[in-house]
Amino acid sequence: MTTARDLSPLQPDADWWRQAAVYQIYPRSFADGNGDGIGDLRGIISRVPYLEQLAIGAVWLSPFYPSALADGGYDVDDYRDVDPKIGTLEEFDEMVAALHGAGIRLIVDVVPNHSSDRHVWFQEALASPKGSNARARYIFRDGRGENGELPPADWTSIFGGPAWTRVPDGQWYLHSFATEQPDFNWKHPEVHEDFLRTLAFWSDRGVDGFRIDVAHGLSKDLDEVLPSKAELQAMPKDGTHPLWDRDDVHEIYAEWRQLFNQYDPPRIAVAEAWVETPERRARYASPEGLGQAFNFDLMEADFEASHFRDIVTDNLAQSAVTGSSTTWVFSNHDGVRHATRYGLAPRAGRPVKQGAAWVLAGGPEDQIDRELGLRRARAATLFELALPGSAYLYQGEELGLHEVAEIPDAQRQDPAFWRTTADDRGFDGLGRDGCRVPLPWTREGESFGFGDGGAHLPQPAWFADVAVEVQDGVAGSTLEMYREALRLRAQLQGAETLQWDERLCTGDVLAFERPGGWLNVTNFGADAVALPTGDVLLASAELGAATDGAPTLPGATTVWLRRTS
Ligand code: NOJ
């Protein structure tokens, strides 16, 4: 039995983020307090005791700003307000106080690459003539062709379909994502000023940090004559690419750092930056810049010992260079949940499904080996939580949730689903709605306890078996495993180092020790191996016994031990 750590009041600590367990709330799908089918701040406030019991260090809240939800809230109408569907600024303050009172910090999402097309500046741009200051805050260009009827370039958006859209007076604007998400022009000083205002606005309201959406996209260098899509693709992403991961993007983050450091403790930031190499990622994690960057390597890895080991080794080496702590992620609102990924046939590299497996719209859930997937996910999670650095967890993974594959097309919301065809669709073939289905809190009842007004995405019948209520207090349930692991982690987490135990690392087994004799052993294979000696602290599945009675570590299982000698 372990004792809960003292969570209240919030301890002043400028380094709180370095090894925090951060729980991502996708607000529309977490808990619905007002019964309109959409999760909200009232719902989050009502679940603070649940978060407290989970023993997380911080919440990362995905966008909650006014939005038409063309991209689940990543299309922001107003950066300094709360969407009325989600709550009010007063409720936001109440939520911050409730979280802080429970010893939980708050990171909010900031979306600086693009606004929504309903943002007052974009509306002003549409109402203003070519060449106006209002247009210069975004990226407008004349079209090609005799009458400008062709887009300025043949680029495709990240969600598929064209990246340029024409406005009534004939000009075109750039949107790297959906049509409703016009890209800002970060060469315009007012864009800089406005984001500094936004960051100060939320910092003043007690927000502890920021997750920076598309951090690698803000700076763009576009001549009058634009390169073609093929030319763009051929250009190296070495800091000089016209669109992505430009060296000068860090000038923006240096400005932000000055603002962050005016607060006590300094506000933190974590970059979502999809870049070519760990070295380039390190720039976003610089203490002169955002300070931390997501490392998505584990989201893209098969459940395989050598692959995991390489990823851990590379990323720890990288964080030693930057001085930042590394981040670990298995699931978030953009990817197939890890219980499901691990229940599908192994794939090399990215878990993007092509062809037959898993991509068919409306199915095929029967291709998922749910049991194996969950077993591996639990083992992977304990492995992650024993690593130095911060762990970013996604709502619902503590229930062992699988991806919901069977959402009728007509009910899908993800623009990435609608802008592509099954063949060229990214985000694992079905778009990203399957990991965004409202959480099941109760076994029965309206929307499994999510709220009184249904759920904005359809919940499957199997949610009844995995709801919070079903797992609460049940020894061995995934929820109880997460609770225990997070409580233990908070106590055991010491210096940000690990030592591989080469004697135990054999083939399918990875073992590493943290300071204080905390030993993590993960068996990635199918066959049981001998259990190393030590006091068992926690295991992701029941331990076994050999014919001679000696304890074993079964396949797809992680155990935490305290070394006895
Ligand atoms: C990354 C976010 O995580 C994703 O959900 C969003 O669609 C894009 N950025 C565009 O904002």
**Ligand 1, closest atom to CA 114?**
11
> Which residue is closest in CA terms to ligand 1's atom 6?
74
Integer angstrom CA distances of residue 237 from 36, 240, 538: 44, 7, 43
The chain-wide mean pLDDT, for the chain, equals 92
- Provide the percentage of residues in the chain whose pLDDT is more than 70: 93
Angle in degrees, 0-180, between the axes of helices 478-492 and 370-386, rounded to the nearest 10: 10
Q: Which of 8-17, 274-283, 334-343, 386-395 has the highest mean pLDDT?
A: 386-395
Protein residue with least CA distance to atom 4, ligand 1: 334
| Of 331, 253, 326, nearest in space to 18 by CA | 326
User: Does residue 44 line the site of ligand 1, with CB under 6 A?
Assistant: no
pLDDT in tens, 265-293: 999 999 999 998 888 999 999 999 999 99
How many residues can be counted in the chain?
Answer: 565
Per-residue pLDDT tens digits for 377-419: 999 999 999 999 999 999 999 999 998 888 888 999 998 888 7
Distance in angstroms (rounded) separating the CA atoms of residues 436 and 335: 10
Q: Relative to the CA of 74, which ligand 1 atom is closest?
A: 11
State whether the beta carbon of 213 lies less than 6 angstroms from ligand 1: yes
**Mean pLDDT along residues 194-222:** 98
> For residue 416, which atom of ligand 1 is closest to its CA?
7
Across 479-491, b (16+ Cβ under 10 Å) vs e yields bebbbbbbbbbbe
226 ligand 1 Cβ < 6 A: no
52 touches 7 (CB < 8 A):
yes
User: Which of ligand 1's atoms lies nearest the C-alpha of 71?
Assistant: 7
DSSP of 474-501, one letter per residue? -TT-HHHHHHHHHHHHHHH--SS--EE-
> What letter would DSSP give residue 446?
G
Say yes or no: CB of residue 74 within 6 Å of ligand 1.
Answer: yes
The C-alpha angle with vertex 250 and arms to 246 and 255, in degrees rounded to 5, equals 145
State yes or no: pLDDT of 362 exceeds 70. no
- Tokens 């399957």 found at: 434
Asked whether the beta carbons of 330 and 551 are under 8 A apart, the reply is no
Residue with CA nearest ligand 1 atom 2: 213
Q: What angle, 0 to 180 degrees and rounded to 10, lies between the N-to-C axes of helices 249-260 and 189-204?
A: 30
527, with CB counted inside 10 A (0-12, 13-18, 19+), is exposed
Using DSSP, state whether 514 is helix, strand or coil: strand
CB atoms within 10 A of CB 236: 8
AA letter at 211 = R
Question: Ligand 1 centroid vs 351 CA: distance in angstroms?
Answer: 18
Q: Which of 67, 213, 299 to mutate to test the pocket of ligand 1 (most atoms within 8 A of CB)?
A: 213
Q: What pTM, to 2 d.p., does this model score?
A: 0.95
* Whether residue 75 has its Cβ less than 6 Å from ligand 1: no
Say if residue 515's pLDDT is above 80: yes
* Gap from CA of 331 to ligand 1 centroid (Å): 14
Query: How many angstroms separate the first and last alpha carbons of the chain?
Result: 21
* Sequence-separated (6 or more) residues with CB below 8 Å from residue 442: 448, 449, 467, 468, 469
Average of per-residue pLDDT across 161-190: 97
Question: Taking Cα atoms as reference points, which of 328, 306, 333, 365 lies closest to residue 524?
Answer: 306
Q: Confidence band (pLDDT; 50, 70, 90) for 150? A: very high
Cα-to-centroid distance, 334 and ligand 1 (Å): 7
pLDDT, tens digit (0-9, with 9 covering 90-100), for 418-442 = 877 655 554 456 788 999 999 999 9
Reply yes or no on whether the pLDDT at 149 is more than 80. Answer: yes
Task: Locate all alpha helices (DSSP H) within 128-238, ordered by sequence.
Answer: 133-136, 189-204, 229-234
**Ligand 1 atom closest to Cα of residue 176:** 10
Pocket test for ligand 1, best of 71, 110, 113 (most atoms within 8 A of CB): 71
Q: Is the CB of 214 under 6 A from ligand 1?
A: yes
Please report the DSSP string for 364-415 in residue order: -GGGS-HHHHHHHHHHHHHHHHHSSSEEEEETTGGGTPPP-----GGG---H
Residue 3 pLDDT more than 80?
A: no
Closest CA to 86 of 123, 130, 45, 116: 45
β-pair type (390-394, 21-25): parallel
Q: Is the distance from the beta carbon of residue 117 to the nearest atom of ligand 1 less than 6 Å?
A: no
Q: CB of 245 within 8 A of CB of 280?
A: yes
Band of residue 355 on the pLDDT scale cut at 50, 70, 90? very low
CA–CA separation, 182 vs 389, rounded Å?
35
How many whole angstroms from 159 Cα to the centroid of ligand 1? 10
In the prediction, which pLDDT does 365 show? Answer: 54
Confidence of residue 351 (pLDDT cuts 50, 70, 90): very low
In DSSP notation, 93-110 reads HHHHHHHHHTT-EEEEEE
pLDDT band at 329 (very low <50, low <70, confident <90, very high): very high
**H or E element in which residue 41 lies:** helix 41-46
Pocket flag, ligand 1, residue 334 (CB < 6 Å)? yes
User: What are the structure tokens assigned to 426, written together?
Assistant: 């990214």
Joined together, the tokens standing for residue 102 give: 């429970």
Planar angle of CA 424, 430, 434, nearest 5 degrees? 155
- What spacing in Å lies between the alpha carbon of 203 and ligand 1's midpoint? 22
**pLDDT for 277:** 86
Q: Render pLDDT for 440-475 as a digit per residue (tens, 0 to 9).
A: 999 999 999 999 999 999 999 999 999 999 999 999
User: What amino acid occupies position 49?
Assistant: P
> Which is the closest atom of ligand 1 to the Cα of 432?
5
